[in-house]
Structure 1
């Protein structure tokens, strides 16, 4: 604190001298005035001039940007991960842009673009390399098009009502990144040689003890928010980077746009969600969802449907059944879920948090998409699961009970192994899920919905989807038979 007070005195002295001079400010005075304006507290191990951009050890608590806020648009976010390389035969921004209307009809409202940056050739894996081996954080992969093509995609997406977030790789760079030769001290080394993280030999590990590197990384992130209008970031291997960096990055980014989404590729983590991140991966629910195909009891599912202490108030899980890593290395949704996919997809939309759909999920694509090679998705004119996704998106966005930050969750089934029912409520609005998560018929199964009059807004009988709204009552579920994987989504409004 003494150092901070001394810094403020220096700032005042410099400002006074500058006022008495010819009116010209030197760069150091400008930097220190900026420090004063942001009121950061310096820790003893942080270089002067690095505080604004490189680290946040503490900030005055009356700073409005520091206060955790959740943008209202996140409450109804339906996230879709876009694999530009594999999405079309061309593998370009322009070619993907033609799919925006179809995705809009599917109910998607937020696009996560896998890394769009140039990919390093040195130590490249496969023919095309990994998106996560970044050569230049301020450029786009020429295979995808030009920066103007990207700008055109952003404009088109925003005009259609989409939010767009970028995949950001902060833990490491590719070996052709200019930082390798220009700033070797920005990387971790062993006996003078830059090292790779884990077995990711196509990448070089960054050194987060270097605050100049931190500052430049944040400036690169700011570029995409300020110049391109991106709406946030999915942050790769977020737990591999110090939380002090993410806090500083989020502070600077929210100074530009307070409405951004920050999604961490990490399991639920109270440290990450304290300030920097709105959402983390619901890895536990993913693992339990895969086990439903093997006949697991529903009690193990419900344990991972509430955020708990790992998420501070205002943050929430990202619920997924698939993503690029799982698809390429652990199997497709067809292999992992089979006929359980429909009720589990509905579960991911209704569970507290936000749902994720990965490229080709709407197709029901039974093919593990290559990671380092060209492997274009084979699209049908009418993707198999698009109608269900559209119906679920409608339920998600039209019912306040399903808001991402709403933690209300009540299990309605008692001592059942395979019939699962829960409700979520907010104000006058309640949404209820009732499902047979078993590959056999269930007969005379009972559920107390907790409401006399309900409206069925979505029904899947194991084969056919029905979205016609139908009035039902609690007595309809007193003793009921269910086909394998049959489920209902019901709504109820508080009686006046």
Structure 2
């Protein structure tokens, strides 16, 4: 487990067998497994001490140059779904390890000492939908404008548009290449349309109450980016003085040299152009966990001069990003917990402790962007199994934070296989369309966005006698809901530790707001019997 050392963070690895080499690779060295080799200090003991900037860092040990393993001594595993060890380094060089001992009664360092920056109300109420233009529809920006009615029907109110700029040609993989290998930060791929068509699409979204977020590629451009010729000093270079990207297996990228002040000015000016000229409502910052935190703050200050509300979404799990620069950080813990609950590996009590440990290890008021799917992982129905897709959606849309959907998630699209699907000709398969799952999402999205209890209220867990059922209250000043979600393949009968919960409902309007797989959503009234069918979601209004 890493600790504060005399010169920085000290890592220790105790090998089970004799090994030839051990290295540490993580967000602090761009996952370069050849940058930080550990020194053998005993027969099986390996050590490394290095300076690491403040913030959340993910890492693994790399044994013999091939085997990537988590730190056996560190219990904190990242919520990114990729099984990384995690730590947070404070401004004083102390190393924080999140454990389930962190709670409301025992808050962590960041919760006790920091508050999150103030964010616009619209992002608190948001349900975010990520899409790629070519994959989602034909006819680029114009085709997407014609799909605004679909988003209104679903109820999402923020669109996140994946990169649409010109992609580099050199070392390109596939017909279209990686959409994040942008060749010119000011460019639009003409296959998607024109600048005027992009503006028309954004105007159409805004006219229908939908915000639009631009996906911004941090840290890198394509290896043949236009600036590599005119400003080679803007890029990282290897021992042969060639532009390169330090992250392994990304030969088609050129890394940005953020030590160069002119590069920073260039990036901020480019982002300001898209923000002001096209009226984007903010940016999702790709791979911001390996971007200098101070530069993220510079970006926020630059955009703030425009005088218009905006948000920055950080693709990181860094507590410090909430303090100075970003409105949202990622949280994929629901995906992991649901699978563990369904398989019996986590109890209800475990889930409650894990959930609270995240809440109380981040700055007060932090907004986490919660997801079941994201571009680097498989479909949630494939990961959890199709029967768990509906209860998983219920949890996503009724807990705290800001939910985000990957395109097609709402109708159980089956063909998307990470962002690498986009390297060649690819479109979502809209047939078969799971109408039942779509209606499940549609109802819960509207419930969430129309009731402050879900987007701005407390979450209070109500313990029950079934480990595979999560039950909790969402409560605002004016309204209160009881949510019950079963991840069990068997029917169950619930008993609550809070004995008066039944009286609070049966003594009121006895209103079932939603019952998946049972009664139709609506104002059905009956006394609760606390019986739950397999994989059922049940929501009561408490009046």
> Above 0.5 in TM-score?
yes
The within-5 A match list for 1:403-418 is 403=455, 406=457, 408-418=458-468
- Give the Å deviation of 1:143: 2.0
Q: State the distance in 2 between where 1:354 and 1:415 align.
A: 29
CA deviation digits over 1:98-128, x for unaligned, max 9?
A: 2110111111111000112111111111121
Match of 2:531 among 481, 486, 493: 481
Partner of 2:147: 99
Bigger mean CA offset, 210-219 vs 385-394: 385-394
Q: State the distance in 2 between where 1:162 and 1:431 align.
A: 26
Partner of 1:273: 322
CA deviation digits over 1:275-318, x for unaligned, max 9?
A: 21111111222322343443443344334444524432343111
Q: State the distance in 1 between where 2:469 and 2:332 align.
A: 23
RMSD between superposed Cα atoms in Å: 2.3
Q: State the distance in 1 between where 2:361 and 2:276 align.
A: 31
Partner of 2:27: none
Partner of 2:217: 169
Higher percent of residues as helix: 1
Partner of 2:181: 133
The 1:231/1:444 distance shift into structure 2, 3 A limit, reads closer
Partner of 1:286: 335
Query: Matched residue pairs, number?
Result: 416
The within-5 A match list for 1:209-358 is 209-267=259-317, 269-296=318-345, 297-306=347-356, 307-326=358-377, 330-358=378-406
Partner of 2:130: 81
Match of 2:438 among 369, 386, 396: 386
- Give the Å deviation of 1:457: 1.2
For structure 1, list consecutive stretches of 5 or more residues without a partner in the other structure: 1-56, 58-65
The 1:432/1:397 distance shift into structure 2, 3 A limit, reads same
Q: Contact 1:78–1:393 at 8 Å: present in 2 too? A: yes
The 1:257/1:337 distance shift into structure 2, 3 A limit, reads farther
The 1:305/1:395 distance shift into structure 2, 3 A limit, reads farther
Task: With the length of structure 2 as denominator, give the TM-score of the two structures.
Answer: 0.72
Q: State the distance in 2 between where 1:413 and 1:76 align.
A: 27
CA deviation digits over 1:237-268, x for unaligned, max 9?
A: 0111011000010111122144212111112x
Match of 1:150 among 198, 201, 204: 198
Partner of 1:374: 425
CA deviation digits over 1:466-490, x for unaligned, max 9?
A: 21122355xx24xx32211111122
For structure 2, list consecutive stretches of 5 or more residues without a partner in the other structure: 1-90, 92-114
Q: State the distance in 2 between where 1:122 and 1:291 align.
A: 43
Q: Contact 2:465–2:495 at 8 Å: present in 1 too? A: no
Q: State the distance in 2 between where 1:426 and 1:173 align.
A: 45
Partner of 1:427: 477
In terms of Rg, which structure is larger? Answer: 1
Partner of 1:51: none
CA deviation digits over 1:310-345, x for unaligned, max 9?
A: 43234311111112222xxx3452443321111110
CA deviation digits over 1:389-444, x for unaligned, max 9?
A: 2211111112212125x4x2211124531122011212132122112211111135
Q: State the distance in 2 between where 1:218 and 1:300 align.
A: 43
